């Protein structure tokens, strides 16, 4: 399938950090679910902007499409680039307080992943990165922040 068919079939909607998503499982009105899951898709030159989660672990699972680069920066400033695609890394665990972003390095096609967050996702524990602040904190990664911040 191509990206358009996946977007229609999975009922994906635009995501505020870039790409498309749909929550598959998550908090109900009582907020008691221990985990939340989403489908997440990037297409072409779009990207998932640098962000981090407080008190939550997120696991990315490769499903289909092009290779996805997942950039993870530890609180000490060390960078790891994961390559999610078939026959390579099929899942990556993001720990609380790690900054992370994603893109399709070839800037063509699409990549569909699943993400699981535990405890369940909440916007109170989500922080979208600000380019100027990240560049001040981690100047060695300034080029990445230029490309992958909104």
Say which residue, 31 or 67, is predicted with more confidence.
67
List the single range of 48-52, 64-68, 73-77, 86-90 with lowest mean pLDDT.
86-90
CATH superfamily assigned to domain 3-148:
Jelly Rolls (2.60.120.10)
Q: Are 12 and 41 in contact (CB under 8 A)?
A: yes
* pTM assigned to the model: 0.93
Separation of alpha carbons 85 and 66, rounded Å:
7
Say which residue, 58 or 33, is predicted with more confidence.
58
């Amino acid at each position: 399938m191509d990206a358009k068919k996946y977007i229609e079939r999975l009922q994906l909607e635009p995501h505020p950090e870039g790409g498309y998503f749909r929550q598959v499982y998550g908090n109900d009105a009582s907020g008691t679910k221990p985990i939340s899951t989403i489908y997440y898709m990037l297409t072409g030159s779009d990207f998932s902007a640098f962000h981090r989660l407080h008190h939550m672990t997120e696991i990315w699972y490769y499903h289909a499409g092009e290779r996805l680069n997942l950039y993870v920066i530890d609180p000490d400033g060390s960078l790891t680039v994961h390559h999610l695609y078939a026959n390579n890394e099929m899942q990556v665990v993001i720990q609380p307080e790690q900054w992370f972003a994603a893109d399709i390095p070839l800037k063509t096609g699409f990549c569909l992943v699943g993400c699981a967050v535990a405890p369940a996702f909440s916007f109170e524990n989500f922080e979208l990165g600000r380019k100027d602040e990240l560049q001040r904190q981690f100047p060695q990664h300034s080029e990445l922040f230029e490309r992958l911040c909104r």
